[in-house]
Structure 1
Amino acid sequence: MNRLTTSQGGLDLARFPEDPRDPFRAWDAADEYLLRRLEGPEGDEPVDLTGEVAVVGDRWGALATALAGHRPVQITDSYLAQRATLANLARNGAAPDSVRMLSARDTPPERIDVLLVRVPKSLALLEDQLRRLAPAVHAGTVVIATGMVKEIHTSTLKLFERIIGPTRTSLAVKKARLIFCTPDPALPRTPSPWPYHYDLPDDVGAVSGLTVTNHAGIFCAERLDIGTRFFLKHLPGRTGPDHVVDLGCGNGVVGTSAALANPDASVTFIDESYQAVASAEATFRANTGADAKADFLVGDGLADVPPGSVDLVLTNPPFHSHQAVTDATARTMFHGARAALRPGGELWVVGNRHLGYHTQLRRTFGNCSTVAGDPKFVVLRAVKR
Structure 2
Amino acid sequence: MNRFCTPWGDLELTRFPEDPRDPLRAWDSADEYLLRHLKGIDGEPVDMSGTVVVLGDRWGALATALAGFGPVQISDSYLAQQATRANLARNGRPADAVRLLSTQDTPPPRIDVLLVRVPKSLALLEDQLHRLAPRLHEGSVVVGTGRVTEIHTSTLKLFERILGPTRTSLAVRKSRLIFCSPGAVAERGDNPWPYRYTLGADAGAAAGLSVVNHAGVFCADRLDIGTRFFLQHLPRHRGPARVVDLGCGNGVVGTAAAVANPAAETVFIDESHQAVASAEATFAANTTGGKAEFMVGDGLSALPDGSVDLVLNNPPFHTHQSTTDTTAWRMFTGARRVLRPGGELWVIGNRHLGYHAKLRRLFGNCQLVASDPKFVVLRAVRR
TM-score, normalised with respect to structure 2: 0.98
Larger mean CA deviation between 179-188 and 247-256 belongs to 179-188
1:138 aligned counterpart, secondary structure: coil
Pairing 1:236-255 to 2, within 5 Å after superposition: 236-255=235-254
* 1:85-96 equivalences in 2 (<5 Å): 85-96=84-95
Q: CA deviation at 1:199?
A: 0.6
What is the DSSP-based 3-state SS (H/G/I as helix, E as strand, rest coil) of the residue aligned with 1:151?
coil
Q: Does 1:226 align with 2:225?
A: yes
| 2:3 paired with 1:3 | yes
Please state how far the C-alpha of 1:203 moved relative to its aligned partner: 1.5
Q: Hey, what does 1:343 align to over in structure 2?
A: 341
**Larger deviation, residues 7-16 vs 250-259:** 7-16
| Aligned partner letter, 2:353 | L
Contact 1:231–1:350, Cα closer than 8 Å, also in 2: yes
Compute the TM-score of the two structures, normalised by the length of structure 1: 0.98
Alignment of structure 1 residues 99-178 onto 2, 5 Å = 99-178=98-177
Does the CA contact (< 8 Å) of 1:311 and 1:342 recur in 2?
A: yes
Question: Does the Cα contact within 8 Å between 1:270 and 1:301 map onto a contact in 2?
Answer: yes
Specify the SS of the correspondent of 1:168: strand
Q: The residue matched to 2:274 in structure 1 has which SS?
A: helix
Report deviation, 1:171: 0.6
Out of 312-321 and 183-192, give the one that drifted further: 183-192
The CA distance in 2 between the partners of 1:177 and 1:61, in whole Å, is 19
Distance 1:201 1:302 in 2: 31
CA deviations on 1:326-345 (whole Å, 9 max, x unpaired) are 11110110011111111111
1:27 paired residue number: 27
Q: Is the 8 A contact 2:264 2:291 kept in 1?
A: no
> Contact 1:3/1:10 (CA < 8 Å) preserved in 2?
yes
CA distance in 2, matches of 1:357, 1:186: 49
- On the 8 A contact 2:161/2:185 being kept in 1, the answer is no
State the secondary structure of the residue aligned to 2:331: helix
Counterpart secondary structure, 2:299: coil
Alignment of 1:1-385 (within 5 A): 1-42=1-42, 44-185=43-184, 190-289=189-288, 291-385=289-383
Cα distance in 2 for residues equivalent to 1:186 and 1:198: 30
Deviation at 1:190, TM superposition (A): 4.3
1:146 counterpart SS class: strand
Task: Determine the C-alpha separation between the residues in 2 that align with 1:149 and 1:320.
Answer: 19
Deviation, 1:213, is 0.3
In 1, are the aligned partners of 2:162 and 2:185 still within 8 Å (CA)?
no
The alignment of Structure 1 onto Structure 2 pairs a total of residues equal to: 383
Root-mean-square deviation (Å): 1.0
Contact map agreement 1:145 1:179 (CA 8 A) in 2: yes
Which runs of no fewer than 5 residues in structure 2 stay unpaired? none
Q: Which moved further from structure 2: 237-246 or 360-369?
A: 360-369
Contact persistence 1:163–1:187 (CA under 8 A): no
Unmatched runs of 5 consecutive residues or more in structure 1 = none
CA distance change for structure 1 residues 131 and 365 in 2, over 3 Å: closer, same or farther? same
Matched residue of 2:211: which SS?
strand
SS at match of 2:112: strand
Conserved 8 A contact 1:135-1:189: no
One-letter amino acid of the structure 2 residue matched with residue 370 of structure 1: L
- Kindly indicate whether the alpha-carbon contact (under 8 Å) linking 1:170 and 1:177 is maintained by their aligned counterparts in 2: yes
Moved over 3 A (4+): 185-191
Deviations 1:244-288 (A, max 9, x none): 000000000000000011111110000011110010011111111
